[in-house]
Amino acid sequence: MQTLMIALGAGVAFIIAYYTYGRWLGNKIFNLSGEAQCPSYRLRDNRDYVPTLKSIVFGHHFTSIAGTGPIVGPAIAVIWGWLPALLWVIFGSIFIGAVHDFGSLVVSLRNDGKTVGQVAGRLLNDRVKVLFLLVLFMALTTVLAIFGLVIAAVFKMYPASIIPCLIQIPLAIGIGLLLYRKGFGLLLPSLITLGLMYLSVIYGNQGVLGQWNTAMAAWPIMVWVIVLLVYSYVASVLPVWLLLQPRDYINSLQLISALGLVVVGLVVAAFIGGAPIGDDGVRPVLEVVAPMVNMHPEGAPVIFPFLFITVACGAISGFHCLVSSGTSSKQLKCEPDARMVGYGAMLTEGFLATIVICACVAGIGLGIQTKTGSTLVGHEAWLMRYASWSTANGLGAKVGAFVDGSANFLKAMGMPHQIAISLLGVLVASFAGTTLDTACRLQRYVIQELAGSFLPETDELQTGVSGASGGSGVSGVSGVSGGRGLSLNPLVWLTNKHGATLFAVLLGGLMAAALPQGGAWTWATAGKGGMILWPMFGATNQLLGGLAFLVIMFYLWRRNKPVYFLVLPLLFMLVMPAWAMFTTLPDWLHAQVKNWPLIIIGISTLVLEAWMIVEALLLLPVVRGVLERTALEKSLI
C-alpha cells in the first residue's frame, strides 16, 4: 500500500501545483492573454509555423521532452534510496522543471517563436546569443550521435517493439493528412489510430512479422543509426503537421494510455498482490524492497551533486527549453494554451518518473527471473539489479529495471507476460524516437541561427536571414542562392533548411561512426561514437536549464516583473552542473587513455558558462525596466 500512496500522493501534488502555482505564473507573472496573436498565426507558413490544437501540441511537446530521460534517470538514481529520488522528482518538477519549460515557451511565444538561444541575443547581447547557440549545438550533436545507439539497443533487447514503432510512421502521415487536408475531426482518427497501434503490439511479433523483428534486431548498430538519421532528416524538413506533429501526438496517446495501464496494474497489485509465481496461486505482496536512503552505494559517485545530474528529464532538463522554444512555440494557437503545454507536460513527465521509481523499488520485488530460470522476489530481486553501481548502471540495466517492474504491475491485472514486455519496449523505443526526430529539427534551427549570426551583412540581406518567418528566424531562405545565383559562402548554405539538416545528420552520423576506444572500424563495431561525449551530456544538459533561467529572468527583469521565484532555481541549475563537471574533470584528465574531445569540450563548456554569467552580471544593473529594442509587445509583458 505504501507504493500506491507514493504514486497517488505525487499525482495529487502535481494536480494541485498545476491549478495553483501554474495558474499564478500564467496569470500574475506572464499575463497570458487570449487576445494576443501568436507566432503561429502572425508568421504562418504551414511548415514550421502552424496553428494547432493544444491537445496535439501537448502530445508533441510531452513525447519530445520525455524521451528515455524520465526512465533511465530515476531507474539508476534510486540506488541512493527511493526517498531522495522521489523528493527531487516532485519538488524539482513543480518548482524548477515546469517553471523552466513554461517560461521558455512563453518567452519564445513573445519573440516570434525564436529558440531560447536567439532570444538571449535580444535580451542580453549578440555575444551571449552566439555562446548560447554553441552550447546548444554541442548538446544536440551529442543527442543525434547517441540516440541511434539507444534505440538500436532497445530494439535488440525487445525485438517485438520494432514493427509497432515502424507502423507509427505511416499512421502519423495518415492522421496528418486527414486532419489538415481533409478537415476530419480529431476524435475518430485518434481512436482508430490508437486501436491499430495496440493491435500492432499484440500481433506485431507473430508469424512473418516476428521474423522481420528478429532480422532487424540483428542489424549492426551503425545500420540503425543511418536509418534513423535518414528518417530524422525527412521528419525535419517536412511540414511539421505532416509527420513530426502527428507522430508525436499518436505516440502520446499510446504512451499516456500505457502509463494509465501501469497505474491500474499498480492499484491491483497494491490490493491483491502481483501475478502468482508458482502453481500454488499465491500472489506476492507489493511492498517497497529498496532502502529509503543509501548515501554510499558500492561504486557510486556521491549523491551531491550527481543525483541532480542523473535525474534530469524527470525533474528538470535543459533540453526542454529547446523543445519549448524550438517547435512548440511555433504551433500554439493562443497564449493560455502555454500553461497546459509548458507547465502541464512537465508535471506529466514528473508523474511518469514517479511511476518509474515505484516500478524500480517495488514492482521489481514482485518477481524477476534469473538466467537459470529461477525467480527472485523481494529484496533479493532488488539486489539482482542494484547490488552496485556497475550492476545498475548501463542502458540495458536501467531500462530493464523499469520494464521488469512495470511488467509486473501489468501482469498483476492479468496481462500476458509477452504483451506486457512488448508494450513497455514500444513505450521506451517510441520515447527515444520522438526525442531523436525533434532534436534533429531543433539542431536545424540552431545551425540556421548560428550561420545567420556569422554571415556578412551582404549575404544576410541576400538570403533574408534577418527576417522573421520560415522557421527559426530564417525567412524564405533559398540557402544557396540570393539575387546573384549560387553563393560560394558555405554559411549561406547552412541557412537553408536542407543544408542545415544535412549538416546536422552528417555530423551526428560521423560522430556515431567513430570508435570510442580506437581499433579497427567495422560495421559491427561502429555506431557507439556518441559515447565519446556522452559522459558530459548530463552536466551540459542541466547547464542549459540554468542558462535558460537566465534568459527568462532577463525577460521579466526588463519588464519590472518579479523574479524572486527564479533566483534559487537559477543558482541551483548553474552551480550543480558546474560542480559535477569540476568533480569529473580530474578523472578524465588522469585517465590512462585520455578522451581529449571530451576533456576539451568539457572545459570549453565551463568557460562558456562563466563567460555568459559575467556578461549577465554586467548587464543586470542597467536594464531593469528597459525593454529590448526588438520587443514585439507593448501592452503585454
Decide if 286 is inside a domain.
Answer: yes
Tally the domains of the chain: 1
Summarised one tens digit per residue, pLDDT across range 382-402 is 999 999 999 998 888 999 999
Decide if 30 is inside a domain.
Answer: yes
Is the predicted pLDDT of residue 475 greater than 60, yes or no? Answer: no
Residue 211's contacts (CB-CB under 8 Å, 6 or more residues apart) are none
Decide if 632 is inside a domain.
Answer: no
| pLDDT computed for residue 457 by the predictor | 59
Cell numbers for 400: 530493464
Residue with cell 482518427: 189
Is the predicted pLDDT of residue 635 greater than 90, yes or no? Answer: no
Summarised one tens digit per residue, pLDDT across range 492-528 is 889 999 999 999 999 999 999 988 876 788 888 888 9
pLDDT greater at residue 616 or residue 483 = 616
Is the predicted pLDDT of residue 469 greater than 70, yes or no? Answer: no
Decide if 196 is inside a domain.
Answer: no
**350, 314 contact by CB (below 8 A):** yes
In terms of Cα–Cα distance, which of 162, 189, 202, 330 is closest to 246?
189
**78, 291 contact by CB (below 8 A):** no
Domain that holds residue 378: 2-180+221-447
| pLDDT computed for residue 479 by the predictor | 39
**325, 471 contact by CB (below 8 A):** no
| pLDDT computed for residue 467 by the predictor | 38
What letter does residue 185 receive in the DSSP assignment? -
| pLDDT computed for residue 518 by the predictor | 67
| CA dist., res. 480 & res. 484, Å (int) | 10
Is the predicted pLDDT of residue 169 greater than 90, yes or no? Answer: yes
**98, 566 contact by CB (below 8 A):** no
Q: Is 368 helix (H, G, I), strand (E, B) or coil?
A: strand
Neighbours of 257 (CB within 10 A): 14
pLDDT band at 71 (very low <50, low <70, confident <90, very high): very high
Decide if 630 is inside a domain.
Answer: no
CA 413 to chain centre: 30
| pLDDT computed for residue 486 by the predictor | 60
| pLDDT computed for residue 470 by the predictor | 39
Alpha-helix residue ranges (DSSP H) falling in 67-125: 69-77, 82-92, 98-109, 116-123
Residues in a beta bridge with 485: 482
Least confident segment among 167-176, 419-428, 472-481, 621-630 = 472-481
Decide if 9 is inside a domain.
Answer: yes
| pLDDT computed for residue 140 by the predictor | 92
Decide if 99 is inside a domain.
Answer: yes
Neighbours of 110 (CB within 10 A): 23
Decide if 491 is inside a domain.
Answer: no
Q: What share of the chain has pLDDT > 90, as a percent? A: 73
pLDDT band at 608 (very low <50, low <70, confident <90, very high): confident
Q: What is the mean pLDDT of residues 83-98?
A: 98
In terms of Cα–Cα distance, which of 65, 120, 116 is closest to 93?
65
List Cα–Cα distances, 347 to 105, 314, 353, 505, in angstroms: 15, 9, 10, 31
| CA dist., res. 115 & res. 117, Å (int) | 5
Cell numbers for 629: 529594442
What letter does residue 312 receive in the DSSP assignment? -
| pLDDT computed for residue 67 by the predictor | 81
pLDDT band at 18 (very low <50, low <70, confident <90, very high): very high
| pLDDT computed for residue 187 by the predictor | 86
Q: Torsion over CA of 592, 596, 602 and 606, rounded to 10 degrees?
A: 100
